[in-house]
Amino acid sequence: MEAGAQPHVQLVQQATNVGLNGRRAGRAASWTPARPFLVRSNRLGGASRWLLRLTGWPPLSRPPPCLCCSSGSSDHIPTLHSHCSMAAAADQAWTEADTAAARRAIPHLRPGLVHLNNAGCSIPMHATLAAVQDYLAREASDGGYEVFDASVDALRRPYTALATLLNCRPEEIAVLTSATAAWQQVLYGLAWGWRPGDRVLTSVHEYGSNAIALLQLAGRTGVSLEVIPETPDGDINTAALQRMLGSSPKPVLVAISHIPTSSGQVYDAAAVGALCRQAGVLYMLDACQSIGQLPVDVQAIQCDFACGTGRKYLRGPRGSGFLFCRSDALDKFEPAVLDNTGGSWSGSREYSIDPTAKRFESYEMAFAAKVGLGVAVEECVQLGIGRIWSRVQHLAQQLRQGLAALPGVTVQDRGRLLCGLVSFTVEGLTADELQQGLAARHINTSVSRIGSSRWDFEARQLEAVVRASVHCFNTEEELQRCVEAVGQLAAAAARGGQR
């Protein structure tokens, strides 16, 4: 290890030297954090943990930045400009009647259960559940192939609905089994053309599955994996990114997560896209936690690829995911794998590839889940993504304020823009103990561990956090229940472990 390098860098380098089946790869991976990231790592510690500002945003003395296109001031909370496709819906304030309607749409939710695990797996609306059940029932009565042939419109719905939500064309959408499957189809496909010395840029808060794949490919191909540093207020450092994009050799890919799995931080994805487009570098956005929660306009963001999942904020079925691939990026590479859906056996020694994003799809998947995904996305579009985002921000701010006021509780979110994921710890309790204590009080949350966000957690000296994630159907009363329950658990821990 080079002098002055951080210990965690050495661990990452060692991990990437292992190839398939545990064998040592032919080339060691090169993982080079940008210097500002290392400086930040040295600064962050228990005595300098990030504190959440709860005094509210400053008065808007000039236009706030647009959530989609990032124009306007960067000092204030983002809004939506009138020229953005989702702006009109955001103008309609959320009312008590809306909350009541949202609750009626989830009649199967167990009475008394507070579901604050929407960033893990949200509660599907009745229409989505009914569509999935109906498709499965028809498969059982009429036969799977026959129901598939008779369900052309229902199976086309995910493409048209996602195209509306993301502001793209249906031909630029592929439906897969998960966001990870979509991400890997692109990443491993691109990697066929990578050579030793090529550079890939990623983010500090990259998700564990993404980081593992990047590290594996760094070990296989010899590419250099570089981490884009953050600004002091927790956004991606676009000035540093611009320098990294301008360095030689030019990066072959920028791959970042819009929102991490472990906190409410939201990166300025559009600013990244503008720089990548200017530099002529491919840009992959993992929007797994953002699509369905906040407006994601792929034209404004200027990403070449974006992946998402059905089960989180879209409230679709598990086992459903999707990929956006910009038309002009389709022919720059081949998918990681092809079958009879993504390609055709066109000659005894030849194959052809589907001209649309369907080239990334595989023949087999749960078609009931695909139908349910289409219904879920249509429900999201009908409700209005701007209105959902406004409601989610309101609820998340209320939860953060309540938790931060409790003795012994630390809200771990940091960032210029925060979303519906609220992460926190309690002194004297492990994250698992806290999550289990809340579950015993009929409150669903989840635990984010270091393996899901290692670079970020190591920099902040965290092992795990509890994540409570709100959605538009949650109520203020449910959040108060959560705050009171955390307060009880924190007080019991302070008394010596009595719960």
Per-residue model confidence as pLDDT tens digits over 388-445? 999 999 999 999 999 999 999 999 999 999 999 999 999 999 999 999 999 999 999 9
Q: State the pLDDT at residue 62.
A: 32
Predicted pLDDT of residue 78: 36
pTM over 0.85? The answer is no
CB within 8 A of 136, min separation 6: which ones?
368
* Contact residues for 484 (Cβ-Cβ < 8 A; gap 6+): none
Q: What pLDDT score does 499 carry?
A: 52
Query: Which of these ranges, 52-61, 297-306, 481-490, has the smallest mean pLDDT?
Result: 52-61
Higher pLDDT, 454 or 26: 454
Question: Domain 79-125+384-494 adopts which CATH fold?
Answer: Aspartate Aminotransferase, domain 1 (3.90.1150)
CATH code linked to domain 7-40+130-382: 3.40.640.10
CB 463 within 8 A of CB 447: no
What confidence tier does 49 reach under pLDDT thresholds 50, 70, 90?
very low
What are the start-end ranges of the H helices in 352-420?
367-383, 385-404
Please tell me the distance from the alpha carbon of residue 354 to that of residue 172, in angstroms, as a whole number.
Answer: 12
Q: Are 469 and 420 in contact (CB under 8 A)?
A: yes
pLDDT at 93: 84
Rounded percentage of the chain residues whose pLDDT exceeds 90: 80
Closest CA to 216 of 208, 10, 245: 208
pLDDT digits (tens, 9 = 90+) for 351-370: 999 999 999 999 999 999 99
Where exactly does CATH 3.40.640.10 map onto the chain? 7-40+130-382
User: In 204-348, which ranges are E strands?
Assistant: 224-228, 253-257, 283-286, 305-309, 321-325, 343-347
Residue 489 confidence (pLDDT) above 60: yes
Q: How would residue 313 be classed by pLDDT, with cut points 50, 70 and 90?
A: very high
Task: Say how many C-beta atoms besides its own lie within 10 A of residue 126's C-beta.
Answer: 13
